[in-house]
Structure formats: structure tokens, C-alpha cells
Structure 1
Amino acid sequence: MAPDRFRHFSAIDWSGAVGERQPGIAVAICGREGAPALVRPGHVWSRADVGGWLCDALPPDTLVGLDLGAALPFVDRGAYFPGWTESPADARALWRLVERWSAADPHLAATGFVAHEQAARHFRRHGGRVGDLFEPGRGRLRVTERAQAAAGLNPYSNLNLVGAAQVGKSSLTGMRVLHRLSGTIAIWPFDRVPATGSVIVEIYTTIAALAAGRRKGRAKMRTVAELDAALAAIGSPPAGIADPVTDHQCDALLTAAWLRTVAHDAALWRPAGMTPHVAATEGWTFGIG
């Protein structure tokens, strides 16, 4: 990737929680130089707000990192939902299926989809509801999540919807946004990276934290001092903000600056484990080689 391919770098800490406005959503952006900044400081974002910002207000040639899983496991069993006749053939079809069964859910939630009698068999949900086809333990993992584990990270299955570490709800609600953005903004690796224009990638903010010297298990930052130290470690100016800050804001600010430092790395755009089949069905987490 050419060093000057992108002019802006944005990271979005996402949330799959119930409700319209989500304090857990944070959006940050930086240019080729200078400190990262929060987009709309003080604003409590909705998922629809983020989708609207990406469609209508995103600066040109922005690399956008979304902190969610863009698809579900497929490769391990040759299907997202083995035994279900509606199981989709690729990620875009999965996004359409989630949208179809969640269309009546407000605020881009996905409760309708996970409640479907066939889909529910594959999820672990609240209230001790574990589908008979949910793999015990962490649950099924995508190829990129197995690569994360090999790199020393601690991934969980996107089919797990329970617990503080779960990412399943974020992933499913994010798929509804990706479905809406499909054809409007290139989404890697489901689309090829165009010569110009903005590109969305899946991120895992812990990767940025570790690159900045944060320790595994202590990746979260909750003070400006912690954030600025991490930014300095990756060569970024301090954020120029004051406490209090949330860990979500810190994640977004640091990851935006980190994207700027690695966007040109050709190896990250062509990870060894990402075959065309993996790219089309499961996607990949940017930053995992």
C-alpha cells in the first residue's frame, strides 16, 4: 500500500448494547500528521448516527476501522449454520439474512435474528440459553480469530452473546450497518481496495494497545495520562484533551493513530491465512498477519 494512499484515519469503538444512544460508541479521526481527535465530542452516538456519518460526513480517502466482527465462523464447518437450508454462502448474504430477520428491531438491533428458531441453535444467549449447536467453551472461531490466538490475543466467538468479553452483539448489529454501506464504501477484504476513496476494515483495538506497549490484560486506558503515553509510544502527539475520558474514547483515539502508522504495510493487506474463500466468507481483522 502506498504511504500516501489514505489522507485520514478513523477508528470506531462499537457497541451492540440495547437502546438507541450508546455511551460505548466512540469515533476518532486523525490526518497524516497531528493528534487524533474525537468526532463530535460530548455526543452520545447511536448506531444509526455512525452509519449516517460514514455515508455523509466521512472525509475523503479515510481508512476506517470498525471494532466488531464482520462475519461469523464458516470455514471450520463449511457453513455459518450447518443444517439450516437458509445458511448463506458468503458474508454479504449473511448481512442480508441478519437484516431480513432483524428489520423490525429498532436502533439496528439484531434480536429478531438471534431469536429465529434455526439461528438460535448456534448462539449462546443470556438467561442460560445455549443453542444445541453452540460449540462448548469459547465457541466456534473464524480463521482470523485463530490467528489472533496464535499471536497471543484472547478472541471469543462471534456466536457468543454473553459476558463482558463477548463481541457477538456488536458484530451482529455491525452487520446491519455494513449491509447498508455495501456498495457505498469499500469494505475490506470483501471488496478490493480501490485506488482512491475510503475503505472500511475490521479492527481489534487491543492490537493497537499492545503495539503501544500496553500489556495483555491491561490494554484498557481510562485516563488521559495513560492515553498520551500510549500515543507517544507509537509516535503520535498527545490527544490534547482533559480527563475524564472513557476507555471507549481512549481505544478509538489510540487506534486511529495506530492505523496511520500501519496502513502502508503491504503484509497486513495480504495476510498469509486469508485465502479468497476466507476473505469472502469470514473476512479478516486488520493488523493480524
Structure 2
Amino acid sequence: MSERFDAWLGIDWSGAKGRYSGIALAECRADGSGPRLIAPEGARWTRGAVAAYLGQRIAAGERLLAGFDFAFGFPWIAGEGYLAGRAQHATDAFALWELIEEASAEAPDFHAGPVVTHEAFAPSYWVSGKQRSGWRNHKRRTETACGAATSTYPETVFKLIGAKQVGKAALAGIRTLRAIRLAAPGHVAVWPFEDADKPAVLAEIYPTLFRRQALGNTAKIKDRATLDTALAALDSGPAQDAPASFSDHDGDALISAAGLRWLDRTGKLFTLPEEAEAQARREGWIVGVS
């Protein structure tokens, strides 16, 4: 089989500040072997280290599909655009990214904490206490569709309280994606904002979707036996050099790498529902969601 990519990477993400340990990387190769974890050069992966690592592989000419576990964009509301009309000049996702970068005040390691207090962004966020009057629980269309497919109902990027919050991870992730894309113009495409026609493609993943597909449930994978069962359902060999037990971050990275390769080989990777395509081009879309 002639492959479009040399490697498929699953990346579990974190938007935390300071010393965090929630990022994990794994890859599958085109030879059909099972996924393997990619160890950081230091004690842990940081967002900056991920950007540098992918940049090196892209510069070396590798054909990569990198899947990141965070939202690539914001809800786009007809008649308002992004941020309830407070960003009228941002008419596409990349313009929104520039606004996020500007509001981040050059926080280190792509952290995006300052964004949520910026005048254009703050009114959209629920950051503490009880839900305030007037807060709007807007979700992207892909989150609604993904919820229907998995019965997990991903949170809105604007809710910043509770265990399931995803907003700061998305903001930090968007800053990271922007840097990767700008470092290799002409070599990187961000799907679905751009057609997936470059050597390296960055796409949004939701590991729960792969666990549901492989095992019929959404439980986190933390042991080798469960992982290898899931991998077999995705037409993958067993994991390479994985320990008997590992973190749920490692588990999500490993199943996502295999899931991306499986989606690619089954022709379900870069597809958008026709009725949702225009909105997805502005908001982003989770690969594998129909």
C-alpha cells in the first residue's frame, strides 16, 4: 500500500501553567507496526518542546499527520462571528489565531492565561463561581456532532471551571499550532481551515472517539492488555515497548496514533458533512466525526 504519510502522531495536550506533566506523544509508522510512545529529551514534554520537535521532523522532509487533542477554533455564530461580535475583523480562523496571539501578551511556553482577561475575550468565559447571568454556552458544531456520536458531550471552550474544562488547553494549543505553521510556510496545512495537501498536516482529535470505536466504551486506557485489544480493533499491531501500566495521557496518545492511521486507511480522515462544511472551515472539526 502506498501511504500518504510516513507517520501518524497522537498528541495528548495540556494548557496548564508552570510545571505540568499532561502532554504525551505517540506515533504509528507506515509499516503497520503498533504505536510507540515518543520520549521527551528532558524530564517531560512542554508545549515549546513539542513545537520544536515537530518543526525538526517537518524540516527533515517527513510526511506527518499530527493529531492534537484540543479545539482548533471557536464557535462561529451567524450574524455575530466569533466572540459574540466583539471580533468583527476576525473573519476566519487564522485571523482569530492572530487575535489570540496578540491577547496572550507573549506569555512563555505558549501559555494563554492573559487571553481570558482581555477585553475582547473575557465576556465569553465562565471562570469562577456560579454560572453568571448572560453567559452563553455556545459550542462548535463538531462538538455537538461528536457528543451525539460518543454520548460524552465535549465541553465548550468558554467554560473554565470543573474537571472537564478545555478552554485554556485550546488557547495554548492554538498558539502552538500557529508557531508550527509559521515556522514552515508551504509545508504545513491545518485542516479543515486549509486543504490537507501539504507534506505535514495538523488536525484535531478527540481520543474518546477512538476508544469508543475500538472498545465500545469511553473508559480511559491505562494498561497494556486493554490497549492491545483496542489496537487490534483498529487494524494495528500491539504497542511497541509499552509498560504493563501507564498514564491515561499515554493511553490517549497511543490509541490516537493508531486511530489516525486507521481513519486514513479507511478513507474517513479528511471528510466533512456537506451541511456543516462552511461552519467547520471557520470553527474547526474533529477528525472521524460524521
TM-score norm. by structure 2 comes to 0.88
Contact kept? 2:196, 2:270, Cα under 8 Å: no
Specify the alignment match of 2:65 in structure 1.
63
Structure 1 counterpart of 2:196, from 193, 201, 215 = 193
Residue 96, structure 1, aligned to residue 98, structure 2: yes
C-alpha change, 1:132 and 1:281, in structure 2 (3 Å) is farther
What's 1:249 paired with? 250
Following superposition, the deviation at residue 215 of structure 1 comes to 1.0
Deviating more after overlay: 53-62 vs 256-265? 53-62
After superposition, what is the alpha-carbon deviation per residue over 1:126-178, rounded to whole angstroms, capped at 9, x for unaligned? x327565521xxx2111111211222332110111211111111111111012
Unaligned runs of 5+ in 1: none
Taking the aligned partners of 1:182 and 1:255, their CA distance within structure 2 comes to 21
Q: Percent identity?
A: 35
What residue number does 1:141 align with? 139
Equivalent residue, structure 1, for 2:231: 231
Distance 2:132 2:97 in 1: 21
Q: Give the match's secondary structure for 2:83.
A: coil
Q: Which residue of 2 aligns with 1:29?
A: 27
> Could you say what secondary structure the match of 1:245 adopts?
coil
Question: Residue 143 of structure 1 contacts residue 273 of structure 1 at CA under 8 Å; is this kept in 2?
Answer: no
How far residue 283 of structure 1 moved from its aligned partner, in angstroms, is 1.2
Measure the CA separation in 2 of the matches of 1:62 and 1:269.
14
Quote the Cα distance in structure 1 between the aligned partners of 2:167 and 2:87. Answer: 22
Given the superposition, is the C-alpha separation of residues 61 and 104 from structure 1 closer, same or farther in structure 2, using an over 3 Å criterion?
Answer: closer
Give the equivalent residue in structure 2 for 1:16: 15
Match of 1:72 in 2: 74
Q: Report the CA distance between 1:214 and its aligned residue.
A: 4.3
- Select between 2-11 and 250-259 the one with higher mean Cα deviation: 2-11
What is residue 53 of structure 2 aligned with on the other side? 53
Question: Are the structure 2 counterparts of residues 133 and 50 from structure 1 closer, same or farther at C-alpha, using a change threshold of 3 Å?
Answer: farther
1:96-151 residue CA offsets vs partner (Å, 9 max, x unmatched): 111111133222111111011331110011x327565521xxx2111111211222
State the distance in 2 between where 1:128 and 1:284 align: 30
Q: TM-score, normalised by structure 1?
A: 0.89
Distance of 2:221 and 2:77 partners within structure 1: 34
Distance 1:93 1:241 in 2: 41
Q: Answer whether contact 1:214 1:230 (CA < 8 A) is retained.
A: no
Q: Distance in 1 between matches of 2:131 and 2:52?
A: 35
> 1:93 is matched by which residue type in structure 2?
A
Structure number having the greater helix percentage? 2
Contact 1:188 1:283 in 2 (8 A): yes
Deviates more, 1:113-122 or 1:231-240: 231-240
Count of matched residue positions in the alignment of Structure 1 and Structure 2: 280
CA contact (8 A) 2:141 2:280 kept: no
CA distance in 1, matches of 2:78, 2:189: 26
Match of 2:171 in 1: 172
Please tell me the residue identity of whatever aligns with 1:283. G
Gaps of 5+ in 2: none
How far 1:26 moved relative to its partner? Answer: 0.1
* SS at 1:69 equivalent: coil
Root mean square deviation of aligned Cα: 2.2
For the Cα contact (< 8 Å) 2:81–2:88, is it kept in 1?
no
